A and B are shown apart, each in its own frame.
Chain A
Amino acid sequence: MERHTALSLTEDTWIGRFQAMGSPCEVVCESPRRSDAAEICELVAAEAWRVEDKFSRYRDDNIVARINQAEGVALDLDGETSDLIDFAATLYRLSNQRFDITSGLLRKAWIFDGSDRVPSQREIAPLLARVGWHRVSWQRPRLTLPTGMEIDLGGIGKEYAVDKAVARIQSAGGGPCLVNFGGDLASTAMPRRRRCWKVGIEGKTPESAERLIDLKEGALATSGDERRFLEKDGIRYSHILDPLTGWPVFEAPRSVTVAAASCTQAGMISTLAMLKGAGAEALLETEGVRAWCRRQPGTSNINIEIS
């Protein structure tokens, strides 16, 4: 995979683009000088690739690989990884065991390619026996993962990377920027040269209505299943799996977009809402967060509209 950044000027705004964590990433800067924008772009890309390299499950040389290959041996984790495991444990509790970083194994039975190959209970049951955070021993900084189990930080990684990138821009004294990793985004500060950041949620077709969100400060994250699903006999199986049953969550909304102070927070609330299935809207309303829930079919693509 190529790792390079590209900087371009759109009207009077600099946009740095690069590929990371399997998504098109960009950082939008209001800095008037190209050199400032280039520096910020390098900073953001470096942080994105750092998080990806450290926590991606696709690598066989990072901490996640070591944890997954430990075969029951206890490992002592560094500060950052321990923080993430602590966070995952809290989410496991807050979601009534439905947000579970050990549930990634279920992907061996469920391949969400839009086909109708729904696995049988016989294929799911043996995997389910190796899923469950309650089987894991976590006493910070010591993690003991039973043999045959795996952890996957993919559900937290992107939003976490966005917030880390924002923090780096802020500590480097960069001007107002919008960091967007494939639709999970956050603002470093309120924009100066315009009233707000305008985030456009693309409708189903280019001609259909766009939902425009005026973002002054904070973050937006989206959970959704528009592209990854299976469909058989008229029933749609979303890729959000319930780790307690091994089956998809029923009646999950097509997409949930949440606004919160940080991207991680927004991402986790949207994930928790999706995991609630039919109760998604109720959760969002009770939590009192600004959210947009979509139940109709349609692709929901967040892109930044520079205006």
Chain B
Amino acid sequence: MSHKEKVSISAALAAATCSLLGTTFPASADAQEAGDWDFNTSILYYGENDDRVKDYSVKSIARRMFVDDRSLSLGLTVDVLTGATPNGAIRQDVPQTFTRPSGSGFYTVPAGDLPLDDTFKDTRVALTANWQQPLGETSLVDVGGSVSKEYDYLHLGVNAKIARDFNKRNTTVSAGFAYSMDDLDPVGGAPTPLTPMLDVGDTSNRTGDQDKDVLDLVVGVTQVISRNLVVQANYSYSYSDGYLTDPYKVLSLVDGTTGDTLLRSGAIPAEGGPSHQFLFESRPDDRSKHSLYTQAKYYMDGKVLDISYRYMTDDWEIDSHTLELRYRWPLAGDHYIEPHVRYYTQTEAEFWRLSLDDSQPLPEYASADYRLGDFDATTLGLKYGWKTRNDHDMSVRLEWYQQSGDVPGEQIIGNQAGRDNYPDLDAIIAQFSYRF
């Protein structure tokens, strides 16, 4: 067929349609694909009470869609962290000094204050990349990688997931795995576990860098229950192997009767050193976690209820429950408001200790890290979202996160009773997001 004849199909068709329908039409349609790129960005502020951790973060995910449901996602996150974090030692009625983790300085904590280490001002950069595409008629496969870098930490990871639909796409079964290889190069070198914190300049109990591997496996089922209700259940298993200890955290070595932290032997040298006896923490070199997560989303007349529950148990004897609720309430003109409540509770790790009793033999593993302790946490938040004039999504959310912990009665010795031993946490989360 010649080019001239080919061109005339469209024109001939237009003419034929005109005589069929007998009305005039616009010259042509005005239709175009909405753009191949989708960007989702946010800025976040996270700030804890007193002088504790503050995080300023920018996060961005760019997604490019290709024909046939294939897509590439690229993510970038930059975090700037400042502020102090509890170092694991307990309060005392006298001032305490600690050697900085780098070994090249010291800091003093006033009497009665919770010891906080403010050494860390760090910037973290993380990159992720994921490729997703259909596999056959009913499956979807997703593969990706991730890398992140901080001053003392490097993470490399790969992940893959496959999902298959059944039953007219009402049931989806998925399985995935993620494997991470992380390298730690602690400032000053990783300390030998359960050895004392030494004077400034003394790095005799320091070893070099460490590493850990983490394998995560997930299987899940998503099921459409009705036109308004969809539910999901996931089971995950996670195995970590390697250096799982926090190289910057210590435990106070206390007297078996008074519960007060033992003073160091000998005078503090001119360059500085610890005022009391502190031992570096020690955690097992592997950890197995099992989690069960279920979620339901229910649509009622424009409003959406999102409820989820997660149960976690591991071989460090930590058990946790997380219950989360979001309720999205549409307002006029594409605006919405979404209150959010999260309730979390965990039991302490088998080796969690408030302090180490000098009159007892040293345990094999011990940590006073509040994050492994027995605590309840509540989050209350509110999110407000709207669409810009260009049909782009914007939202702001403000949340309050509060942790309050408990020390098991049998761990409180002497003068420790009546003190506020657990470093309770109070934090504000503020985030602004823009999707275009």
Using a CB–CB distance below 8 Å, which chain A residues touch chain B?
11-12, 83-84, 86-87, 90-91, 94, 160, 163-164, 167, 170, 190, 194-196, 198, 203-209, 211-220, 259-262, 264-266, 268-269, 272, 283, 286-290, 292-299, 307
Contact = CB atoms under 8 A, between A and B. Distances in A.
Given A94-B12, A218-B28, A296-B68, A195 B390 contact: yes
Prevailing SS type, chain B contact patch: mixed
A214 B31 CA distance: 6
B163 interface: yes
Interface in B12-49: 12-14, 16-17, 19-23, 25-35
24 contacts: A83-B22, A90-B16, A94-B12, A160-B21, A167-B21, A190-B30, A203-B69, A204-B69, A204-B140, A206-B169, A209-B65, A212-B33, A212-B34, A215-B29, A218-B30, A261-B14, A264-B21, A269-B13, A286-B7, A292-B33, A294-B68, A296-B67, A297-B136, A299-B169
Contacts of B68: 294-296, 298
Nearest to A212: B34
Nearest to B132: A208
A133 B252 CA distance: 95
Given A83-B19, A208-B140, A209-B69, A268 B13 contact: yes
B140 A207 contact: yes
Given A195-B390, A261-B27, 19 more contacts: A12-B333, A83-B20, A91-B16, A163-B23, A190-B30, A196-B30, A205-B140, A205-B169, A208-B71, A208-B140, A211-B33, A215-B31, A218-B25, A220-B31, A259-B29, A287-B10, A290-B32, A295-B68, A297-B136
Given A195-B391, A290-B32, A90 B12 contact: yes
A35 to B, nearest CB: 21
B176 interface: no
Contacts of A84: 20
B30 A265 contact: no
Contact of B25 (A91, A208, A261, A269): A261
A184 to B, nearest CB: 13
Nearest to B169: A205
A261 B11 CA distance: 12
B29 A87 contact: no
B17 A264 contact: yes
Interface string B122-144: 00000000001010111010000
Nearest to B1: A96
B165 A216 contact: no
B23 A307 contact: no
Contacts of B334: 11, 307
B34 to A, nearest CB: 4
B83 interface: no
A212 B67 CA distance: 12
Contacts, number: 157
A293 B68 CA distance: 9
Given A259-B29, A298-B68, A87 B163 contact: no
B391 A268 contact: no
Interface of B: 3, 6-7, 9-10, 12-14, 16-17, 19-23, 25-35, 63, 65, 67-71, 132, 134, 136-138, 140, 163, 165, 169, 172, 302, 330, 332-334, 387, 390-391
Contact of B31 (A170, A209, A290, A295): A290
Residue among B3, B9, B14 with most chain A CB within 10 A: B9
A9 to B, nearest CB: 9
A164 B30 contact: no
Q: Across chains A and B, which 4 residue pairs bring their CB atoms closest together, nearest first?
A: A218-B29, A296-B68, A259-B31, A212-B34
B26 A298 contact: no
B160 to A, nearest CB: 15
Contacts of B65: 209, 211
Given A205-B163, A219-B29, A307-B387, A265 B69 contact: no
Given A261-B14, A269-B10, A295-B68, A86 B29 contact: no
Residue among A205, A209, A261, A292 with most chain B CB within 10 A: A209
A202 B302 CA distance: 21
A212 B36 CA distance: 9
Contacts of A87: 16-17, 19-20
A298 B134 contact: yes
B96 to A, nearest CB: 52
A194 B387 CA distance: 11
Contacts of A163: 21, 23
A266 B334 CA distance: 32
A307 B392 CA distance: 10
